[in-house]
Structure 1
Amino acid sequence: MLFVDAIRSVLTQYAGFSGRARRSEYWWFYLFITIVNIVFGCLSGVAEAAVFIGLIVSLALLLPTIAVSVRRLHDTNRSGWFMLLGLIPIVGGIILLIFFTQDSKPGPNRFGPNPKDPAASGLVA
């Protein structure tokens, strides 16, 4: 999945918490969020308005970030409630990082078909 495709996929499912998200979709979107934060961080030293605009953009991207994280957990056959592990200092973040880097569970699971499966994505007739 390409960078632009991943961003488009996440933003079109802005608040979609059902289904599954591939690793590439999650990590490309994470890279996008990081780049946006770096850009607005650099601009904040130049113009005070950039701080306010950066805050608005970050708040606007919060919901899709949570949604793609939940779908990524679904892809590893875990409930989205595992996101609450992030509230545990240090250890929770490490556990979530491990979950986010794991490969998809093969075949369909309780959250939907495997997005890596060509038949599920409609690529195979």
Structure 2
Amino acid sequence: MNLQQAVSSVLSQYATFTGRARRSEYWFWVLATVIVSFVGAIIDAIIGIQIVQTLLLLATIVPNLAVGARRLHDTGRSGWLQLIGLIPIVGWIILIVWFAQDSHPDNEHGPNPKGRAAGPYGHPTSPAV
């Protein structure tokens, strides 16, 4: 999945908190929002008021939470565990580790989005059929 596909996927599932999101989808979305945030900060600095970043935050808060929940589902966890991020530093570190983990096999949130079964430690057990 590339940057454009990830952004398209996240925006097409704007408020979908069910299912699973691959690691690449999540991290490309994060990259895209960081880039857009930097551009917004530059525009805000030029106009002298922080309106663009505020509007961007409001526009992306729901898809950020949705893709985060789907990413946690992909690692076999509840999307509610995003609330751990409210704990300064420690919570953020835990979430980054979880978001960076590989997809787990099929679970209660749906089939493996990579399209193949994964064995222990996320290694494939059989090729995609």
The TM-score normalised by the length of structure 1 is 0.89
Identify the residue that residue 81 of structure 2 maps to in structure 1: 82
Deviations 1:4-39 (A, max 9, x none): 000000000000000000000000000000001100
1:28 aligns with 2:28: yes
Identify the residue that residue 117 of structure 1 maps to in structure 2: 115
| Structure 2 unaligned blocks of 5 or more | 118-127
Identify the residue that residue 42 of structure 1 maps to in structure 2: 42
Deviations 1:33-88 (A, max 9, x none): 00011001111111136x31331122011100000000000000000111011011
Alpha-carbon distance in 1 for matches of 2:98, 2:14 = 22
Alpha-carbon distance in 1 for matches of 2:27, 2:55 = 22
Paired residues for 1:54-69 under 5 Å:
54-69=53-68
Alpha-carbon distance in 2 for matches of 1:97, 1:65 = 14
Aligned residues: 119
Shift of residue 118, structure 1, vs aligned partner: 6.0
Alpha-carbon distance in 2 for matches of 1:54, 1:94 = 24
After the TM superposition, list the runs of 4 or more consecutive aligned residues in structure 1 that deviate by more than 3 angstroms: none
The TM-score normalised by the length of structure 2 is 0.87
- Report % sequence identity: 50
Q: Secondary structure at the match of 1:110?
A: coil
Alpha-carbon distance in 2 for matches of 1:83, 1:57 = 20
Alpha-carbon distance in 2 for matches of 1:99, 1:34 = 20
RMSD: 1.7
- Of stretches 10-19 and 81-90 in structure 1, the one that deviates more from structure 2 is 81-90
Return the structure number with greater relative CO, CA threshold 8 A, min gap 6: 1
